[in-house]
Amino acid sequence: MALRTPSSRLSKSLTTSLPRGCSAVALRLPIPSTWHHHISTRSLATVSPAPPVTQSSTSRLGPTAMVFMNMGGPSTLPEVGPFLSRLFADADLIPLGRLQSYLGPLISRRRTPKIQGQYAAIGGGSPIRKWSEHQAAEMCAILDARHPESAPHKPYLAFRYADPLTEEMYTKLLEDGFGKQGRAVAFTQYPQYSCSTTGSSLNELWKWRMRLEGKEPENGGVQWSVIDRWGTHPGLVEAFAQNIEAQLATYPEEERKNVVLIFSAHSLPMSVVNRGDTYPSEVAATVAAVLSRLQHRNPSRLSWQSQVGPSAWLGAQTSDTVTAYVKKGHKNQILIPIAFTSDHIETLFELDQEVIHEARELGGHGVKRAESLNGSRVFIEALADVAGAHLKEGKACSSRQMGMRCQGCKSERCLEQKRFFVNTMRRGGDGDEVVVR
């Protein structure tokens, strides 16, 4: 969310940043031949959500539940209060210690009017659910065509702080018959892993697994696997690159090579970074891959947005970066939301209505933003490519990183969650149990 606070207004009151979450037209630009082996460029008609499935389906490995995990966002103004209440209650995202249950509701009540105003300014709610439903349904249609052995692929959403919540998704899974050893893939929509985002969603998923199915479900339970990170996938890189190139094309040809590319990602408190969270390095890896695809034709910087409160956060801040370069004479800049898969309050309000507005007041009339991924056909094909490869491999987790905790992690919940997910499907390797420490 757009909770950025200028340093001059910082106070010692307990505040924090809000997350990510969806508005632009799908770009259908030509895809370089070097990437044709990764995705198909054929056009698919928009599909309706798949009907409920049961384990009586006839495909060899199907049906398969494809669960998109994300923070979510309030779709209407009345949902803002409950959204903030859940968000400030999450110690993975906002650690408030023993006073969490008291301070969380207090802070959320105080923040609600201001945040409602921000959502009103972008149309009355977050578009993240709309875009997530579209992306998931389109991806599943592609998977049905490419991987009939695991079809039908049924899309589900599991939002951390907004409807549909993880609990709602899990209940629906069981109603649809997946509790009888049905296969489900937890597909994070944060391309770069962080304990505060993907980690929090997996903790919540593990919690409801234990509550609704127990440690040893009578019927075998839902058979989970996890796509935990995919920040350098060629399709994701291509989708970002095409949106950047489309915005570069709006500048006069003689000015394009001097346009500064400002990659912006949500910041983290330095206490989380110093604990060993891999998010900063994974975001940097995505940026490096995109710049390589663009052949390093433009100067660039990576910055971090949405810092709030008096504590130290990962910097430099996006707002400070943009205004500093405008003052140095770089009037043409493109902001690229590099860690988000759709528009949300931080792109539509913080970047569009705050950062760009401030830059133009200083004379930076060439400061613009690249479109978010939203309905990009290249991006949706990339989702299908990531998911299809995971289904084919049959492994519990998409990366070996899931078996490691942060150097400074002391969370028993994180430990138990990782032990569960990395060993939930002992297939695709030697079958040995992965030890998580």
Residues with a catalytic annotation lie at 385
- CA 368, CA 372: separation in Å to the nearest integer? 12
DSSP 372: P
- CA 336, CA 331: separation in Å to the nearest integer? 16
- CA 205, CA 222: separation in Å to the nearest integer? 12
- CA 24, CA 372: separation in Å to the nearest integer? 7
- CA 203, CA 50: separation in Å to the nearest integer? 27
Encoded tokens for 257: 């090579």
Residues paired with 158 in a beta bridge: 69
- CA 407, CA 187: separation in Å to the nearest integer? 25
Q: How far is the first Cα of the chain from the last one, in angstroms, to the nearest whole number?
A: 34
266-to-9, 17, 226 alpha-carbon distances in Å = 20, 9, 23
- CA 346, CA 354: separation in Å to the nearest integer? 10
Closest C-alpha to 262, from 367, 408, 379, 190 = 367
- CA 379, CA 390: separation in Å to the nearest integer? 17
- CA 412, CA 418: separation in Å to the nearest integer? 10
What DSSP letter does each residue of 92-132 carry, written as one string? TTS--GGGHHHHHHHHHHHHHHHHHHHHHHTTSS--HHHHH
Classified as helix, coil or strand, 302 is strand
Q: Are 297 and 244 in contact (CB under 8 A)?
A: no
Q: Are 155 and 173 in contact (CB under 8 A)?
A: no
